[in-house]
Amino acid sequence: MTSTALRSRAWKLLEMVTTPLLPSDYLDLVRPLRTGADLRGRIEAVHPETRDAATVVIRPGRGWRGHTAGQYVRIGVDVDGVRLWRAYSLTSPANRQDGRVTITVKAIPDGKVSNHLVRRAKPGTLIQLDQATGDFVLPQAKPAKVLYLTAGSGITPVMGMLRDTELDDVVMVHCAPQPQDVIFRDELHGLVADKKLRLTEVHTDTDGMLDIARLDELVPDWTERETWACGPAGLLDAAEEHWTEQGIQERLHTERFRPGIVVAGDGGEVTFSATGKTVDADGATPLLDIGEEAGVLMPSGCRMGICFGCVTPLKAGAIRDLRTGEITEAEPGVLIQTCVSAAAGPCDIER
Amino acid sequence: MTAIDPTAHLTAEQIEELGRELDAIRDEVIADRGEKDAAYIRKVISVQRTLELASRGVLLFSIFPPAWLLGTAGLSVAKIMDNMEIGHNVLHGQWDWMRDPKIHSTTWEWDHVSPSEQWKHSHNELHHTYTNVIGKDNDLGYGIMRVDEDQKWHPFHLGQPLWNFINACFFEYGIAAYDLELGKNLHKRRRKDPEFRARAKAVGRKIRKQVLKDYVIHPLLSGPSFLTTLAATFTANVVRNLWSHSVIMCGHFPEGVQVFERRSIKGETRGQWYLRQMMGSANISGSKAMHFMTGNLSHQIEHHLFPDLPSNRYAEVAVKVRALFQKYELEYVTGPLPKQVFSAWHKVFRLSLPNKKPKVKTPDREQELVAA
Ligand code: FES
């Protein structure tokens, strides 16, 4: 018998010992970051960067497969007891010796997770992790001339690149409201002093928004540069248009942070994605009734919110709890009780 | 159905007002639910797991009597925690709001021979929706007992104290059979129904795993302590069964708890539903430890009003609920465990004998509302 077969035999036996739980349920008590566990990380430190941004140092579990500079990671954080998932760019170089990684988070107004991480997260806390992903990365062959065009927290994936790969000729144009809002400002100026970077800061509170046409003046040779741009949609739209006009759109690489803002309304179009049906719903009729009327097979029980026999994944959009008025927005893994929920705007129910 | 309807003095408006007040109590807890509650359930789960592991470890040496005693006691408590404060409540969806897929009603499996999927259907859906409605809520007497004067007496009922005791000892099997609706399904053609067969198979699988673990694997691991470990696990299972059976009997059987007729719930309003939960449940009074070991089912009334609120909140909710009972002049049935257990058993004995049909019948809720 091969050793893997032996291993899986042994594991089966162990499962018989721990049933109805799994051996991992017990191992998690003592070694949550071990090989073979669900991927998690432990927050080891939180360093403030600006008045509303902080860098979170995370020790990933043994299953972490590493990342490439510029990629992002989804993390699941418990905020007020509720697990919420968000994606953040990795700001640490890929080859950090101590095996830790960092993300740098800017607290956005009303952002539950970002405010929690910047202001309340404590070292020692366990978080959930996904493997790093994303193709906003440098190519294998180092480009001769590079432009990084960033705004606000759009600097985070680029910082990962700057720290990871030294390039011969790098220019950066970065926008932030005021000098003190520039994340990593000291480090950037250090790179400038060492002649490793040419930097232009645009302070939008005083200079106004960056007019993309000003690039000619800020970076005269921008058309010759391989460009990585990250920031708000307006900036990226303008850049894409500008590069396309010059016919060099393949030189521009952009990373868009998901909009993620759901506007909760009253009723809306409900999609039952497994069945492929779409119907209009008002803001007062339970989604269970809406689905049944549309001929969708809906699981149900008490029809009054107590048995949890109707829970169904909410894939997109927002719903309102008819009892409390509370709004729930779609996120991976969010299940709703269709018998006491109504559409709060367009939504997608997996049935 | 009892001779005098204890809610007769309430008007329809009052009942709806009562419903609104209860909704407000619920909303308050939900708005306040958070980190502390999450930390609570995680702690309970990790304590349970540690205790179970430690007890099973001690039982490896159960050939020595003190180890046997310690291990058996620990395992009994661990099993009670698994079933009551953790399993029952997680399967109610009380912790679903945490969005932790590992502590969720859709994924949880418990140390019990009834697969959680089936138990959720019969318990959460049937029992909690139709609480104490004769013919709809099979928890009333579990189909083997007579629990109300109005139910027809049959010589079979003479043995019901015995049936009840046997059921208590092997309660988890009773529950499994009951979740399968075995009595009904063993008849006629139903046995061949593919849906029933699939469910029966799932129960069979679960029983096999549970039995293998408790009565084969762990004893084998104990080597020379094989027999003593086997005896210890058996004892722990019986202790857990007797305990949970007693607690559950106290929830709906003691004297003073009302049962309802099928037609009385037609067109029931939210307020009336709440009222039925209030009149159909009974509490157990006692210490914090006592509430914990019953999985907070000692707060049965509050649990039936708000089955999806986290169990650690029932104690504080109980204060407000009790005030409402007073305000609306309703009887809050509660008492210490021995008293409630005695009361429930007393009823089992009393109703094993035939009785005269009560003369006065509760007016139907519908008629009553028309009158009001
Ligand atoms: S059907 Fe029972 S909770 Fe929705």
Residue B131 has pLDDT above 50, yes or no: yes
* Contact between chains at A17 and B92 (C-beta distance less than 8 A): no
pLDDT at A257: 76
Q: What is the pLDDT of residues B44-89, one digit of tens each?
A: 999 999 999 999 999 999 999 999 999 999 999 999 999 999 999 9
pLDDT at A222: 96
pLDDT at B370: 38
pLDDT at B371: 37
Distance B257 CA to ligand 1 centre (A): 26
| Reported confidence tier of residue B261, pLDDT bands at 50, 70, 90 | confident
| Residue A29 at interface with chain B, using a CB cutoff of 8 Å | yes
User: Could you say which residues from 273 to 312 on chain B have a Cβ atom under 8 Å away from some Cβ of chain A?
Assistant: 273, 307-308
Q: What is the pLDDT of residues B315-368, one digit of tens each?
A: 999 999 999 999 999 999 999 999 999 999 999 999 999 987 655 554 444 444
Choose among A80, A83, A301: nearest Cβ to B124: A301
Q: Chain A residues with CB inside 8 Å of B203's CB?
A: none
| Neighbouring C-beta atoms of residue B29, cutoff 10 Å | 17
Nearest CA in chain A to B116: A20
Distance A349 CA to ligand 1 centre (A): 15
Q: Chain A residues with CB inside 8 Å of B110's CB?
A: 20
pLDDT at B358: 59
Q: Give me the sign of the Cα torsion angle B9, B13, B15, B17.
A: negative
- Ligand 1 close to Cβ of residue A335 (< 6 A): no
Structure-block tokens of residue B292:
């914990």
Residue A300 CA: which ligand 1 atom is closest?
A: 1
Phi-psi region of B145 (alpha: psi -120 to 50; beta: other; left: phi over 0): beta
* Contact between chains at B98 and A84 (C-beta distance less than 8 A): no
* Contact between chains at B34 and A19 (C-beta distance less than 8 A): no
* Contact between chains at B97 and A16 (C-beta distance less than 8 A): no
ipTM: 0.92
| Residue B201 at interface with chain A, using a CB cutoff of 8 Å | no
Q: Are strands A341-349 and A268-272 parallel, antiparallel or unpaired?
A: parallel
Beta carbons of A113 and A79 less than 8 angstroms apart:
yes
d(CA B45, CA B81): 9
Choose among A26, A81, A335: nearest Cβ to B34: A81
Give the number of beta-carbon pairs within 8 Å between A and B: 103
pLDDT at A1: 63
Counting residues of chain B whose pLDDT is more than 90, the rounded percentage is 79
Task: Spell out the SS3 assignment of chain A.
Answer: CCHHHHHHHHHHHHHHHHCCCCHHHHHHHHCCCCCCCCCEEEEEEEEEEECCEEEEEEEECCCCCCCCCCCEEEEEEEECCEEEEEEEEECCCCCCCCCCEEEEEECCCCCHHHHHHHHHCCCCCEEEECCCECCCCCCCCCCCEEEEEEEHHHHHHHHHHHHHCCCCEEEEEEEECCHHHCCCHHHHHHHHHCCCCEEEEEEHHHHCCCCHHHHHHHCCCHHHCEEEEECCHHHHHHHHHHHHHCCCHHHEEEECCCCCCCCCCCEEEEEECCCCEEEEECCCCCHHHHHHHCCCCCCCCCCCCCCCCCEEEEEEEEEEECCCCCEEECCCCCEEEHHHEEEEEEEEECC
Q: Chain A residues with CB inside 8 Å of B97's CB?
A: 81-82
| Residue B50 at interface with chain A, using a CB cutoff of 8 Å | yes
pLDDT at B364: 47
pLDDT at B120: 96
- Ligand 1 close to Cβ of residue A311 (< 6 A): no
| Residue B176 at interface with chain A, using a CB cutoff of 8 Å | no
pLDDT at A261: 61
Residue B129 CA: which ligand 1 atom is closest?
A: 2
pLDDT at A260: 55
pLDDT at B1: 46
* Average pLDDT of every residue of chain B: 92
d(CA A292, CA A270): 12
Q: Chain B residues with CB inside 8 Å of A308's CB?
A: 92-93, 96, 105, 120, 124, 308
* Contact between chains at A29 and B46 (C-beta distance less than 8 A): yes
- pLDDT tens across the length of chain A (351 residues): 678 888 889 888 999 999 999 999 999 999 999 998 999 999 999 999 999 999 999 999 999 999 999 999 999 999 999 999 999 999 999 989 999 999 999 999 989 999 999 999 999 999 999 999 999 999 999 999 999 999 999 999 999 999 999 999 999 999 999 999 999 999 999 999 999 999 999 999 999 999 999 999 999 999 999 999 999 999 999 999 999 999 999 999 999 876 556 667 889 999 999 999 999 999 999 999 999 999 999 999 999 999 999 999 999 999 999 998 999 999 888 999 999 999 999 999 999
The residue among A308, A327, A337, A338 with the most chain B CBs within 10 A of its CB, best to mutate, is: A308
pLDDT at B187: 74
| Residue A10 at interface with chain B, using a CB cutoff of 8 Å | no
Helix-strand-coil split of chain B, %, nearest 5: 65, 0, 30
